[in-house]
Amino acid sequence: MSIILNKKQFIPQLRKAMTGYSPDQGFESNLEPFRKGSRTKKTINNTNYKKSAVLLLVAYLQEDFYIILIQRSEYRGVHSGQIGLPGGRKEPSDNTLLETALRETHEEVGIQPEDIELLGQLSTLYIPPSNFLVQPFVGLFNKNVLPDHYSNEVKSVVLLPLKNLLQENYFMHGGVETHSYAVNIVVPYIPVDRHKIWGATSILLDEFRSILVS
């Protein structure tokens, strides 16, 4: 697909691409830090995984398209300080995983569900260190200004320019410090500002990219 990143032409392209996409069809990412295909639902032996959901939210801000990410606050957990998509664990009050994604997005970055156009889903993804099975949703933020408040679980909001993700050389390799492995590991990552987006988040971004460029 030839991608033109102006608001009038790109949004219909995005809607069409997501409408025609069937997730969970064996997508294999170039950004899988370990064995390719090891995070799909079919490969999970542990049936006691925790259900969760995230939202990949595209926004048109300051005359350009961005993907809204968050940097998590420091805490005693495997994802401390990492860059991720808004989302979290399914709570008993959530009737569906979509409700989880919308609730968490509102709690974390202040975006109201009514300001989001749901476009579709990406493939479910298993995260071994936290034992989460993640259902990713894709949405379009239909306002042009972000809320100026977010939860104390979020250190900052990080905006990834969509044009960066669509470049041919969109990822690099380098070392990252982790809270789930006792070593500095070398992984593929997507750079944004001074941050490195790696692991599950980079895999989901890679899948989204593949939808747009196919």
Q: Which two tokens stand for residue 210?
A: 């593949």
**What's the chain's average pLDDT?**
88
Reported residue count of the chain is 214
The CATH code of the domain that includes 18 is 3.90.79.10
| Domain carrying residue 146 | 7-213
Q: Report yes or no on 76 lying in a domain.
A: yes
Calpha distance 59→91 (Å, rounded): 27
DSSP alpha helices (H): ranges in 50-122?
A: 97-109
> What pLDDT score was predicted for residue 103?
97
> What pLDDT score was predicted for residue 204?
97
Stated as kind and residue range, the H or E segment containing 205 is helix 200-213
Q: How many domains does the chain have?
A: 1
- Determine whether 7 is exposed, middle or buried from the number of CB atoms within 10 Å of its CB (0-12, 13-18, 19+): exposed
Q: Report yes or no on 101 lying in a domain.
A: yes
Calpha distance 134→127 (Å, rounded): 8
Q: Which two tokens stand for residue 117?
A: 């156009």
Q: Which two tokens stand for residue 13?
A: 């392209």
Q: Report yes or no on 1 lying in a domain.
A: no
Q: Report yes or no on 116 lying in a domain.
A: yes
pLDDT tens, position by position, 143-187? 999 998 778 889 999 999 999 999 999 999 998 877 655 467 889
Q: Are 122 and 208 in contact (CB under 8 A)?
A: yes
Q: Which two tokens stand for residue 98?
A: 């979509």
> What pLDDT score was predicted for residue 1?
56
Q: Report yes or no on 15 lying in a domain.
A: yes
Calpha distance 158→163 (Å, rounded): 15
Q: Report yes or no on 2 lying in a domain.
A: no
Q: Report yes or no on 109 lying in a domain.
A: yes
C-alpha to C-alpha distances, 203 to 31, 93, 151, 185, nearest whole angstrom: 6, 29, 25, 17
Q: Which of 60, 64, 78, 83 is nearest to 202 (CA)?
A: 83
112, pLDDT greater than 90? yes
Helix, strand, or coil (residue 173): strand
Stated as kind and residue range, the H or E segment containing 71 is strand 64-72
Q: Which of 70, 73, 108, 71 is nearest to 89 (CA)?
A: 108
pLDDT tens, position by position, 72-96? 876 555 545 689 999 999 999 999 9
Calpha distance 1→47 (Å, rounded): 38
Q: Report yes or no on 128 lying in a domain.
A: yes
